[in-house]
Amino acid sequence: IKKPFGQKEPPLTDQIVNILGRYPDGGQILKELIQNADDAGAREVKFLYDGRSFGKTYLATEHLQKYQGPALYAFNDAIFEPEDWEGIQNLMRSNKKSDILKVGRFGIGFNSVYHIT
């Protein structure tokens, strides 16, 4: 039986666990979001903590109950371009690799938010 040869990527969840192991819990997440805003040319970054909790009765599954609050919102005034959208969907494939002035050119920093999501 012939099988195709080639490297295979580990499952996405395994890759995220590996990335999170490189980032400590805490302020690193905010630092990554600020660096992303800077790379995008933002002049302003805001964080908003929303301490509210919302109803847990009418959810698709019980698993979603833990996501009903509180929440931390991050906002910056940069324009989110199509290549940015593409970039956050492709793990470790940054579209900023060739720009040495960009802090987030490795394609992993945004994934630090999985510590809190």
pLDDT digits (tens, 9 = 90+) for 63-99: 888 888 888 899 999 998 888 777 777 766 666 666 6
| HEC string for 33-93 | HHHHHHHCCCCCEEEEEECCCCCCCCCCCHHHHHHCCCEEEEEECCCCCHHHHHHHHCCCC
pLDDT (tens digit, 9 = 90+) per residue, 10-66? 787 887 788 777 776 666 788 888 988 888 889 999 999 999 988 888 888 988 888
CA dihedral 54, 58, 60, 61 (to 10 degrees): 70
Q: Name every residue whose Cβ is closer than 8 Å to that of residue 12 and which is 6 or more positions away in sequence.
A: 91
Domain positions in the chain are: 27-54+67-115
Mean pLDDT calculated for residue range 100-111: 63
Is the bond leading into 70 cis (omega within 30 degrees of zero)? yes
Strand pairing partners for 16? none
